[in-house]
Amino acid sequence: MKERRLAELLKTYKPGHALPRQFYRDEELYEVEIDQIWRHGWLFAGFTSQIPKPGDYFVYDVDTDSIIIVRREDGSLAALHNVCRHRGSLVAIDPIGHAQRFICPYHQWTYDLSGKLATSRGMPADLDRAELCLKPVQLREMAGLIYISLAAEPIGFEAANACMAPLARPQGFDRARVAHLVDYEVHANWKIVWENNRECYHCDVNHPQYVKANFDRYDAGQVNAQIAQQIEAATERSRLRWEAQGLMVTHREVGLAIFPDADRNIWYSAHRTALVDGYVTESIDGWQVAPLMGDYNDPDVGTLRLRTLPNFWNHSSCDHAVATRLTPAGPRLTKIRVMWLVHQDAVEGQDYHLSELLSFWQLTAEQDWVICERVQRGVDSRAYIAGPLSTTKEYNVDHFIRWYLRQLSEVPSSFTQASDSWATADTHLIVL
């Protein structure tokens, strides 16, 4: 993207407002985002329980990069670029599978589960195989979640692990299995999907199931004495029962927990919050729909929420977890995978029924995808002008936008000679 054009585009943003039209449709800016955000940070790829045995693997595609996540012979995990070092063919063709070795379907070069070149049919005997391994990708495992980074020198992962792992471990992701998954293609920019996730301004009208189970639909202006008393009673009840299980309430405030923290560039979040009285899980009627997961011995554990930018959020109840993974596929298209997890020993049809397990979050997710596609169609219109954000209901949208702009600030400085009007003391915006 030309330096002057990027600088001019950045200057069109008005603090306290949504992003201007081109941020959701510009092809060149999309390429900058892929390089600066998606190939720079940590991406949630999946769960360790998806590849329980040596040789088990799955493939995760990010833009033009195809990545194999595999369990090696010694039980450890590896991430490898799915690109043969001979002529560049994809090596693993199936999106999930089991292999003793990876054999390129083109010319049958063979790699072991660590990516080392084992055989190279038809090549000279003195070929330096050590120089022709599958290229590795940075990988971290955190309480059963797998993260990869396409960066040669990725940002630190330690702070995210310290924040998230203690809250995630009791859920038992490493002792779970994927009961069901659904892949969606949502015709909307990936930022629109995140912005929708970061506010509940739309919840009362658009998510009739969700609002019955959760208190975060409310903001400070909506809470009367009766609602405040309900929230306090639920939080205190939960605190007493959770402490007996070694758990704790980590979000007591009204409304959504603040995420991301744009000023400190914090891209990860974990908290546990109480559900509405009568709900022990995020199901249609609030009743438990599967066996308890992880370390839980009491269904009253509220809801655990994990989020990492740019591509993951999760809602976990006592009996199941629902993980959402985003992947951009163009300025106006986002591929979304939603996965439902249950205890590894739970048997479908006996311990749970998919219709009961899926309904709450499948309804909520698909309601959101419709919203996001409507927004994209409206933003595409030349009549669109970025409107102001509500300071009481859309504060996390503002945080997300400022986090996003901060990532673009890491473009080489010669690319981003934006004017000083970008930042004021009141808005804490980053000068790009």
Do 205 and 309 fall into the same domain? yes
pTM over 0.85: yes
The span from the CA of 359 to the CA of 378, in Å, is 29
Residue 409 is predicted with a pLDDT of 77
**Contact call for residues 90 and 59 (beta carbons, < 8 A):** no
Domain boundary residue among 122, 154, 186?
A: 154
Q: Give the CATH number for residue 119.
A: 2.102.10.10
For residue 410, name the pLDDT band (cuts at 50, 70, 90). Answer: low
Q: Which residues touch 35 (CB under 8 Å, ≥6 apart)?
A: none
Q: Tell whether 94 and 209 lie within a shared domain.
A: no
288-316 tens-digit pLDDT: 999 999 999 999 999 999 999 999 999 99
CATH number, domain containing residue 181: 3.90.380.10
Question: Does 308 share its domain with 401?
Answer: yes
**Mean pLDDT, the chain, integer:** 90
pLDDT at 419: 30
Query: Is the CB of residue 272 less than 8 Å from the CB of residue 302?
Result: yes
Give the count of domains, the chain: 2
| Cβ count near 163 (within 10 Å) | 17
- 78, 26: one domain: no
The answer to whether residues 105 and 176 belong to one domain is no
303 lies in the same domain as 248: yes
Measured CA distances, 335 to 33, 79, 236, 322 (Å): 16, 21, 39, 16
Report H helices in 267-353.
none
CA distances from 387 to 19, 22, 30 (A): 8, 14, 22
Boundary residue ending a domain (108, 134, 154): 154
Asked whether residue 96 falls in the same domain as residue 237, the answer is: no
User: Do 28 and 82 fall within a single domain?
Assistant: no
| Same domain as 223, residue 336 | yes
Model pLDDT, residue 413: 42
Check whether residue 349 and residue 395 sit in a common domain: yes
- Is there a single domain that holds both residue 67 and residue 9? no
Closest CA to 51 of 141, 170, 169: 141
Residue ranges making up the domain that contains 76: 50-154
- Among residues 326, 348, 347, the alpha carbon closest in space to that of 337 is found at 326
Which tens digit of pLDDT belongs to each residue from 262-287?
999 999 999 998 898 899 999 999 99
Q: Both 427 and 340 in a single domain? A: yes
Residue ending a domain, among 112, 130, 154, is: 154
Answer whether residue 256 shows pLDDT above 90: no
125 CB burial (10 A radius; 0-12, 13-18, 19+): exposed
Task: Extract the runs of DSSP E, i.e. beta strands, from 278-354.
Answer: 303-308, 312-316, 321-328, 334-343
